[in-house]
Structure 1
Amino acid sequence: MMETPLLLTSFLKRAERYFPHKLIISRTSPETIHRITYKEYVKRTHKLAAALTKLGMKKGTKVGSFAWNHHRHLEAYFAVPCAGAILHMVNIRLSPEHIIYVINHAEDEILLIDGDLFPLLSKAIPYLKTVKHIVVMQDNMEVPESTFPNVYSYEKLLAEADDNFAFPEDLDENSPAGMCYTSATTGMPKGVVYSHRGLVLHSLALGLSDSMGIREKDVIMPIVPMFHVNAWGMPFAAVNYGSTQVLPGPMFTPSLLLDLIEQEKVTVTAGVPTIWLGVAQEQEKNPRDLSSLRSVVCGGSASPKGLIKTFEDKFNVPFVVGYGMTETTPIVSLSTYTSEMEDWTREQKLDIRATQGLPVSLLDTEVVNEAGEVPWDGQTMGELRIRGPWIADEYYKDERTVEAFKDGWLYTGDIAVVTPEGYIKITDRTKDLIKSGGEWISSVDLENALMTHEAVFEAAVIAIPHEKWQERPLACVVLKEGKDATKEELISFLEGQFAKWWLPDDVVFINEIPKTSVGKFLKAKLREDLKDYQVII
């Protein structure tokens, strides 16, 4: 067999050769949408690599991006790694302290920053130790005022760049191509490096029919940010398959997303549950034509069964739950159906949809506890561990590697059960499990049940200390606008679904659940805010 290296450069060549007229539809401001062909996109990508090389980028150089989902960010997705450098996608929603940390820790030398985000980063610039050049990405060639000496216009650099820049042909498929940092609910974020080989294999997996099934005829809209775990790999895969891409840009709203789906005939889109909760509310108030959609993919945290039911039964849109992490590139599993489920009842199918799904081909997953691998009974809990060709094997220059990577496995910190069909169902994070009287209670199961109540918009369940039982569950609930519910009503609603000792001791009604930079419930903040809470009997 030929030893052909698996490189992202092959994706660019394929897009240019076979799909030159397919479009990238890129929203860069509320008033501006660009329609760029793949032929033009590949040309601009080569010019960006030429411009950055002229600024000093070479093999191994870290180039940070601080940007929304748009065509310039997509150009960086390929220009940087195809030139042998490493694209570090900086999460713009991290705290200023964490942003400074990750840029310094990664040792970024060049930063690509959206013009509208420049003020957000400007106060951090004096604390950045390795950055030599800042390139501002916006539609015009202006650059903001700054005391930093080397600030350039992205479009001006491209206008002056070499048209004939050639990517090196001696890249190693195992060489680093990109990196992201975890969103860190405790401690500093941890860096994960992605290789060309891992990204290529991950992209191919996204094209499998039992995965996302991405193909040339699709119109792909990643709502998950391009600064978070490669936008779940969708931009890489879409370039390879020649899919039309819709990139929603800055400060989007549920209304805008629905408009884009309707106008551009989007077929596949992906985002976190908080996005889809907002989209569902808007769709119920002001319906759009969603008939083009063949799949909504939801990940990042558990999806309430009520949300799945809304999309599938009210909107007639398949709603697929996925699972992944920064450390896994990220796709690990998806809740697609197998043939044996064709005759299942609607409720049985909903139960499967609400799991994190069946592992994707080429990955090994196990749920283990002190007794070894757990039985596939849907009840016995253990920690999920994963290994495979796009799974990280360490954190970048971080001693916490030894906590998560053991014996060739990534230990995820997620507590799960496995259904008799082999589907993974996350029941909690190790730090969020509630231990009451020596027995484990899943906060996720309680949350999902609460969010099926017609009055509940969001719900998070946390542990509060208890003198007798060690810990007891406390439900924190956000009601839908114009809806009412009492503590007694919600706890009664849970009765019959769970053992009595699982039921929350109390319900706290709040205006908003704190969230991480990527939309997950920030239970550490809730626990801190409610650490002195006393249950009222």
Structure 2
Amino acid sequence: MIKEKTTMSGMQASPMNLASILEHAARFHGDQEIVSRLASGEIHRYTYREALRRSKQLANALHAYGIQVGDRIATMAWNGHRHFESWYGIAGQGAICHTVNPRLFPAQIRFILNHAGDRIVFVDPAFVVLLEEIQDELPTVELFVFLTDKAQCPETTLKNAIDYESFIEGQSENYDWLELDEDSPSSLCYTSGTTGDPKGVLYSHRSNLLMAYACCSADAFKLSAMSSVLMVVPMFHANSWGLVYSAPMTGAKLVLPGPHLDGANIYDLVNTEHVTFSAAVPTVWSMLLDYMTSNNLQVPALEEVVIGGSALPRSMLVRFKRDFGVDVLQAWGMTEISPLGSLNRPMPATLKLDADAQLKIALKQGRPMFGLQMCIKNKEGQELPFDGKTPGRLMVRGPWVVSSYFKSDSVILDSLGWFDTGDIATIDPHGFMQITDRAKDIIKSGGEWISSVDLENAAMNHPKVALAAVIGVSHPKWEERPLLLVKLKPEADLGDVELKEFLSTEVAKWWIPEDIKFVQEIPLTATGKINKVSLRNEYIADYEADS
């Protein structure tokens, strides 16, 4: 068991092993459910108490295999009970749980697995073919563990493959979690690598635990044992926004959707499991809203949803509240900050404002929780005022902010320890931060700045628009002008004249693009964001603007 130590202050110093979260959940919320939708569509139910026992079986299996402290073990899987317990079984016994995004290109996955030096890959059967294609280029991988039982185990050409249930079968349900230095690495997640190779962010037991504490606070996710949490955000996406730790920390019911992220399946889980809280990217919520509207459905238990990954469209916030009585909270974060940085909840001062002013504030990315410092700086490194108007580079620092990338000697902090997020933002006098653009995406037209994010959101406020993307294209007179790419909703009919008229009520006149292209698809990255690199490659090279 974890031993207690004393310090110079006379207070106990308990090492922060993440396994203590699941120990607490099993002891004090042992009968609380973890509900998973399997790939087959069936529902699996068990409790925190059972999850702890199986995590200890996994820890014993890893020890018997020869896994040492600091070894990297990859997971490539959707949100399910086996994936959940593997996080605790791996990190609790001193290894590093390396989550791999299966939506990445095979070349990126190969790079990530090799760069991490993973010894074992835990994988959902759905991704076996992907690994078969690259297995001969993975020299460090010794074993593949399919996150299923023997009956559902797929036929495969992967060498040294075993199903999860056989791997832990016969192992003891007793395991003394290692007493680790709290700064010991616990998990590893790579950025999506939209420019250059993906970069690894190595989290510690301490950083993840502190971030989970912050997520639970009333000004963040506000979770408790009364909550029923649908964890839509994938566990391979930036620590699942901390929910994989904060939900069991509070004893909340945890609902895991597996690969079934369409509107019908999400609605079914929300309704049958009495979900009160959930978090996902806008595309998931768009599918749910359309499904509920088309079928005249309601979600009486659902109280709040958190939206992150990309900016919150105003129309989505309004629809959720007006049509379904659900509050929408916008969050911001990134892989490099474990990942939650800010969340938008109202304050007494903002609630005194009129409805339009409150709506404008609700569309901002929010305020940081205690533990994360935030400021904006100009290109000379000087801090800028919190006036809600002056844009600058968004900088953060704190105990769950990256200090260096895995296996990299590059300096990524300034002389005062600030990490440059790459975002351009403003911060208002109440501390509400608003992302105005990525530094590489902001458009300079005639010496003035145009926010691609704001212009995209304005277009998406049109009821016929499903998705919008804006990139800067060269212009002989204005240096750059925005090019708006629009994907319409099914069977919608919209012309550029009508859309420009709509935009004239949403943004400044000089922001309105001269050129709008209606497209069948807009490419997304592996994390569901608009792939600006792909769009630039497709449209900028041969683009000719009218003067």
TM-score by length of 2: 0.95
Is 1:279 the counterpart of 2:288 in the alignment?
A: yes
Per the TM alignment, residue 92 of structure 1 is displaced from its structure 2 partner at its CA by 0.6
Q: For residue 262 of structure 1, give the secondary structure of its aligned residue in structure 2.
A: helix
Where in structure 2 are the equivalents of 1:87-106 lying within 5 Å? 87-106=97-116
Supply the AA of the counterpart residue of 2:479.
Answer: Q
Aligned AA (1:100): R
Amino acid at match of 1:67: A
Q: Which residue of 54, 71, 80 maps to 1:70? A: 80
Taking structure 1 as reference, are residues 221 and 142 closer, same or farther at Cα in structure 2, changes over 3 Å only? closer
Identical amino acids, percent of aligned pairs: 41
Cα shift at 1:7:
2.1
- What residue number does 1:8 align with? 18
Which amino acid counterpart does residue 108 of structure 1 have in structure 2? D
Matched residue, 1:40: 50
Q: Secondary structure, in 3 states, of the residue corresponding to 1:425?
A: strand
Partner of 2:6: none
8 Å contact from structure 1 (residues 191, 395) kept in 2: yes
Alpha-carbon distance in structure 2 between the residues aligned to 1:9 and 1:457: 42
Query: How many matched pairs?
Result: 535
Aligned-partner Cα distance in 2 for 1:458–1:397: 37
Check the 8 A contact 1:7/1:196 in 2, yes or no: yes
Could you tell me which amino acid in structure 2 is paired with residue 49 of structure 1? A
Question: Which one of the candidate residues 519, 526, 533 is aligned to 2:535?
Answer: 526
What CA deviation, in whole Å up to 9, does each residue of 1:384-434 have, x standing for no partner?
Answer: 0100111111111135x4256653111000011112321110011111010
Q: C-alpha separation between the residues in 2 aligned to 1:271 and 1:463?
A: 28
The answer to whether structure 1 residue 138 and structure 2 residue 148 are counterparts is: yes
Tell me whether 1:498 sits opposite 2:546 in the alignment: no
2:344 is aligned, of 326, 335, 342, to 335
1-structure distance, mates of 2:412, 2:512: 33
> How far apart are 1:31 and its partner, in Å?
3.1
Q: Determine the structure 2 residue equivalent to 1:160.
A: 170
**Contact map agreement 1:450 1:459 (CA 8 A) in 2:** yes
CA distance in structure 1 between the aligned counterparts of 2:297 and 2:208, rounded to whole angstroms: 35
Deviation, 1:139, is 3.6
Contact 1:141–1:153 under 8 Å retained in 2: no
Specify which of 204, 219, 233 is matched with residue 242 of structure 2: 233
Contact 1:141 1:154 in 2 (8 A): no
CA contact (8 A) 2:74 2:121 kept: yes
The answer to whether residue 126 in structure 2 is matched with residue 113 in structure 1 is: no
CA contact (8 A) 1:100 1:128 kept: yes
Deviation at 1:499, TM superposition (A): 3.0
1:254 and 2:263 are equivalent in the alignment: yes
Offset of residue 202 of structure 1 = 0.8
Distance 1:45 1:359 in 2: 33
Residue of structure 1 in register with 2:39 after alignment:
29
Please, which of 443, 448, 457 is the counterpart of residue 448 of structure 1? 457
1:330-372 deviation line (CA, Å, top 9, x unaligned): 1100111011122322221211111110111111000111362
- Asked if 2 retains the 8 angstrom alpha-carbon contact of 1:386 and 1:410, the reply is yes
Query: 1:195 and 1:288 mapped to 2: Cα distance?
Result: 43
Give the AA of the match of 2:294: K
Indicate if the aligned counterparts of 1:60 and 1:86 stay in contact, CA closer than 8 A.
Answer: yes
Q: Does 1:356 align with 2:365?
A: yes
* TM-score, normalising length: structure 1: 0.97
Cα distance in 1 for partners of 2:151, 2:87 equals 21
Match of 1:412 in 2: 421
Amino acid aligned to 1:471 = E
Aligned twin of 2:3: none
Matches within 5 A, 1:267-306: 267-306=276-315
Q: Does the alignment pair 1:482 with 2:483?
A: no
For 2:71, which of 61, 70, 73 is the aligned residue? 61
CA RMSD of aligned residues (A): 1.6
Alignment correspondent of 1:265: 274
1:535 deviates by 4.1
Q: Which amino acid is 2:525 matched to?
A: T
Segment of structure 1 superposing worse, 81-90 or 447-456: 447-456
The 1:78–1:405 alpha-carbon spacing in structure 2 relative to 1, beyond 3 Å, is farther
Superimposed CA distance per residue, residues 444-463 of structure 1 (whole angstroms, 9 cap, x where no aligned partner): 11111111112212111110
Q: Per-residue CA shift, 1:25-65, capped at 9, x if unaligned?
A: 01112332111111111100000111111111110010000
CA contact (8 A) 1:55 1:133 kept: no
Instruction: Give the partner amino acid of 1:40.
Output: E
Give the secondary-structure state (helix, strand or coil) at the position aligned to 1:21: coil
SS in 2 for 1:396: coil
Cα 1:15–1:297 shift into 2, 3 Å: same
For residues 323 and 193 of structure 2, the distance between their equivalents in structure 1, rounded to whole angstroms, comes to 36
State the SS of the aligned residue for 2:370: coil
Amino acid corresponding to residue 64 of structure 1 in structure 2: A
Deviation of 1:536 (Å): 6.3
CA separation in 2, counterparts of 1:477 and 1:536? 20
Distance 1:405 1:280, change over 3 A: farther
